[in-house]
Amino acid sequence: MFTIPVLDIKSDPLDVMLAVVGYRLSMLADSDDEDIKKLLADRKVTIEIASVEANVARHFDFDNGTFSQRSGHADAPDLTINFKDSMTGVKLLSKGNLPAFMTAVQEGNLSIEGDYSLMMWFNKLAKHIVPTIPEDYKPYIQKAKPYAYKAQQFANHWIGVAKHKVGK
């Protein structure tokens, strides 16, 4: 695994996803959306999301309406979410389903430490992460999906070639 130094993002799928979520949360914190402002107001919270197996950790700091993210473990997180592995984290986060999180805890794929009420709060905030796509644009997105799939295959091929050449 390598790190992209300018962005401080590891090539691990979970870290990439968390970084993107962090950038979106940053945009939301700077927005004029009243619902977001209410959620972020009077909160001083640090949430760490990690995968011990993948050696990935990223923490999100919410401080009275402001937001920041950092790679690595937090000094004293209020809530820590540890996934069994990166792909478990990616799958659960992309579902955005709180009951799925609870099932994962019962199955041992996820551990949660700290203030559990922050899970509910973060879930409310997470509902704003994926912007709603206007109905007028949905047909265009459907037309673009096959091209995105081909681009992904192309990228995977060349990543494999690069790994082979570098020897990793």
CATH code of domain 3-131: 3.30.1050.10
Q: What is the mean pLDDT of residues 70-84?
A: 94
pLDDT of residue 48: 95
Whether 5 shows a pLDDT value over 50: the answer reads no
What angle (nearest 5°) sits at the alpha carbon of residue 67, between those of residues 63 and 71? Answer: 115
Supply the pTM of this predicted model.
0.72
Q: Which of 8-12, 91-95, 103-107 comes out lowest in average pLDDT?
A: 8-12
Instruction: Please choose, from the candidates 84, 76, 89, the residue with its C-alpha nearest in 3D space to the C-alpha of residue 115.
Output: 76
pLDDT top residue among 96 and 133: 96
- Phi-psi region for residue 20, left (φ > 0), alpha (ψ -120 to 50) or beta? alpha
Confidence bin at 8 (pLDDT 50/70/90): low
37-75 residue pLDDT tens: 999 999 999 999 999 887 899 999 999 989 999 999 999
pLDDT of residue 133: 66
Query: Could you give the percent of the chain with pLDDT greater than 70?
Result: 91
